[in-house]
Amino acid sequence: MDLILKRSGGANVVLRPQARPNWYPTAEVDPVEVEIFKQELDADGKFAGAPVSLGRFPSVGSLTIDNNPDTDKS
């Protein structure tokens, strides 16, 4: 699943699933690990640059994205 991080107009960060057609084959086993990528958006909301891997992680647990509304303006 792709998640898009966008400005909310306030101090909050909004993540939402990105609507894209499913192209992955049907899973036959549970995943052992996931790879997390980030990719910047330009002012028009279109992808800019190449995706950057943040690493591979076990498929259990949670993801925390640090955000400081005083410095993380975009």
Q: Is residue 5 assigned to a domain?
A: no
Q: Is residue 44 assigned to a domain?
A: yes
Length of the chain in residues, anyone?
Answer: 74
Domain count, the chain: 1
Q: Is residue 70 assigned to a domain?
A: no
Return the pLDDT at 60: 82
Encoded tokens for 41: 């958006």
Nearest Cα residue to 12 out of 54, 72, 62: 72
Q: Is residue 73 assigned to a domain?
A: no
pTM for the predicted model, two decimal places? 0.47
Q: What is the distance between the alpha carbons of residues 45 and 14, in angstroms, rounded to a whole number? A: 14
- Note the pLDDT tens digit of each residue in 10-31: 666 666 656 566 677 787 888 8
Segments of the chain with pLDDT less than 50: none
Q: Is residue 41 assigned to a domain?
A: yes
Host domain of residue 37: 30-65
